[in-house]
Structures are given as C-alpha cells and as structure tokens.
Amino acid sequence: MVHCLYIYEIQLSNNIMTDRLIKIRNKILRLLYKTVFKPIAFRQDPETVHDFIIKLGKLFGSINITRNITKLLFYYSNDKYLSQNIKGIMFKNPIGLAAGFDKNAELTAILPEVGFGFVEVGSITGEYCKGNPKPRLWRAKNSQSLVVYYGLKNDGSETISQRLSKLSFKIPVGISIAKTNSPHTINPKEAIDDYLKTYRLFQDIGDYYTINISCPNAFGGQPFTNPELLDQLLSAIARDPKTKPIFLKLSPDLSENELESILRITERYDIDGFICSNLTKNRNNEKILDKDIPEKGGLSGKVQEDLSNKQIEYIYRKYGKKYIIIGCGGIFSAQDAYNKIKLGASLLQLITGMIFEGPQLISEINRELVYFLKQDNYNNISEAVGSKHRSTQ
C-alpha cells in the first residue's frame, strides 16, 4: 500500500513537472511564431505560404527524425481527460484539422506529431479540380479571418484514394467529399454520381465520411441545401453499404427554416452527425472589421465563430446526444474550444486559429482544456458536452 502510494506520488510529481515544461515550451513557441515566423509569413501571398507548409509538412512526415523532433516540439496528450470513443473510433483528443488545409491528404504522417486528435482530408471531388483562378486566398487580419475562394482545388478521388490506400494512420482520418467544381456537375444526377464516385473509392479508407454540401465557392452554388436534392443525394448514398460514420457539413448561413428542412431530411437516413460549420458568405456581419474584403469567397475564423456556435446550440438543443456535433469555426483559444463543447460539440476542428496563433495552439488548447475540465469537476471531456444547456434548465 505504502509502496503504491509512493509510486503514485512520483508519477504525480513527474506529471506536474512535464506539464510545467510543456507550458514553458508552448510559451516559447508562441513567442517565436508571433515575433519571427508570422510577421514574415503574413507578408507573403497566403496561398504560397499554404503550399510551402504543405511541402514542409510532407517532408517532415516522411522522415523518422523530423517526425520525432516535431513531436518533441508540439505533442501533448492526456488520455484520461481528453480521449473519447465516438461511434467506435478512438479520438485521443478532440482537436482536429478541418477540411481544406490538407486538401490532397499529404500530411497524415506529420499531423499526429503536431498533436492533432484527428484530421479531415479534402474536400475530395470525383474528378481532379484545379480550383478557381488565382488569387483565391486572402487574410482579413483585423477580423482574424481568411477569405477563401479556392473552389475545391484537389487531385481528385482516384489519385487521393490511391495515395491513402497504401498508408496506415496514427489518428482518425475523415474523408470530406464534395462535388467536382465544374459545369459538368450542374445537373443533380451528375452531381450525385460525382459524390458517389468518391464515396465508393474510399469505402475501405479512413474512419469517417463528411458529405460537404456547403462549399461556398463551387460552380452552381450549394444545390444540396435544397431538401429535395439532399433527399436524392442521401438516398443514393444509403443504397451503398455503410462502412463508416457519415457527417453532414452545414453552411453557417442557413436560415432557421432552411436548417429545419435539412434536419428533417437527415432524420430519414443513417447520418451520424453534423459539422457546424463551413465558411460564411454573408458580408453583412459585424465581425468583419477589414475594409476591402473581396466580394467573392467565404469567410472563416472570428467572422464565422458566432454563426457556428448558434448552429451547434440549435442542433444540440433539438437532438441532445442523438447526433455527434463537430464544432468548427473561430477556435483561437482553449476558451473558444471549451465554449463549443459546452454548447454541444463532442469534437472540434480548426484552421484559421492555427494560422493566426501558431501550430502550438493545438497543444495549448488540449492542455488548457484539461485544466478547465478539472476546474468543473469533470473526469472526461464527454461529460462536459452540452453542459451549458443542463445548467440553464
């Protein structure tokens, strides 16, 4: 007994030491990012920087030593508080990389070492898609947002499925599917076939699917937010064998009526949850603080955050834990992340926060989430999901 207590005390003091070291490490990385890397990177064209980071991440992921260095610099884990088994998938922590950063699934080896709990690759379309003409990515610095007009640039479902079929993954991988951005998919039948092509090629690859019906930048708009067309799309998907959970990614610009119609259709099918949300197209938003925002494109980050939160809250209030909600939009801190969890999100995704705050943000959020959970007397993050609604009942 005394021996056990002694070992427990040593472990506890080791954990406290490690936690302090990680806190210092993160502070140094944050300082370096904000004073050295970001000022240089933010002077360059955003897409050039994005491409450079993808090349670097791909290289670092391919070599054992650079993977280990990355882990030493960025990794954080706390299985007791942060891990969850959701729909049979083990998530070591709730922070995922949102769709659109690793469009061609080239970073799956390095992202676990950066500390991500999961990654969503894509969006992947049936055919190769070169995207919209450049420029197609802008920073709205004062609004802490990005204006995105990529138009689903990606290598296409055949190339990406071949790339991934040879790999095994350390963290869950979500497959985001969208329809090819081209006049050929303007007809609903062709558009559905395009979704199905990707769906089928990834039957045995990855851990979950996301059906992206909310890309703001594709030819023909967002036809599948129309309930009848969504019904046709989901029924076509339902005719195929279901090999993994399916999420639906929603636009934050849906009115309550539009959202209700989508939810009514979704209830008829075996859909596991929602991603709240994609980019906002609406320029009438008080969080837009920059002048000269391009007219085209969707906005991310702080401009989208409240819309995402409202949608999480709405869906959680309506369904409770019937659906898994992945909260996405404007997460720049552990407080932002915890807020989404308390509103009803079981998992979270981000991109813009990492670009404005630095890649150590993942570890910072996870570490501070543990602190918040302890403070609120929760033993695991799953207990905090939706807690805001319970305390207001």
Ligand X SMILES: Cc1cc2nc3c(=O)[nH]c(=O)nc-3n(C[C@H](O)[C@H](O)[C@H](O)COP(=O)(O)O)c2cc1C
Binding site for ligand X (CB under 6 A): 98-100, 122-123, 137, 146, 148, 150, 152, 176, 212, 215, 249, 278-279, 300-301, 304, 328-331, 350-353
Distance CA 22, CA 27 (A): 9
3-state secondary structure of 53: helix
Query: Minimum CB separation from ligand X for residue 384, in Å?
Result: 20
Query: Minimum CB separation from ligand X for residue 205, in Å?
Result: 18
| Cβ atoms < 10 Å from Cβ of 185 | 24
Position closest to ligand X via CB: 100
3-state secondary structure of 222: coil
φ and ψ of 331, to 5 deg: -85, 110
Concatenated DSSP letters of 104-158: TS--TTTHHHHT-SEEEEEEE-SS-B--SPSP-EEEETTTTEEEE---S-B--HH
Q: Please identify, using beta-carbon distances, which residue of 84 and 212 lies nearer to ligand X.
A: 212
Q: Please identify, using beta-carbon distances, which residue of 100 and 126 lies nearer to ligand X.
A: 100
Q: Please identify, using beta-carbon distances, which residue of 297 and 386 lies nearer to ligand X.
A: 297
Q: Please identify, using beta-carbon distances, which residue of 22 and 215 lies nearer to ligand X.
A: 215
Query: Minimum CB separation from ligand X for residue 126, in Å?
Result: 14
The type of residue at 6 is Y
Q: Please identify, using beta-carbon distances, which residue of 25 and 58 lies nearer to ligand X.
A: 58
Q: Do you find a cis peptide bond into 277, omega within 30 degrees of 0?
A: yes
Query: Minimum CB separation from ligand X for residue 368, in Å?
Result: 17
Query: Minimum CB separation from ligand X for residue 271, in Å?
Result: 16
Question: What distances in angstroms separate CA 267 from CA 237, 276, 344, one per listed residue?
Answer: 14, 17, 18
Query: Minimum CB separation from ligand X for residue 77, in Å?
Result: 22
| Cβ atoms < 10 Å from Cβ of 155 | 20
Q: Please identify, using beta-carbon distances, which residue of 123 and 360 lies nearer to ligand X.
A: 123
Strand residues in 183-279 grouped as ranges (E): 208-212, 246-250, 273-276
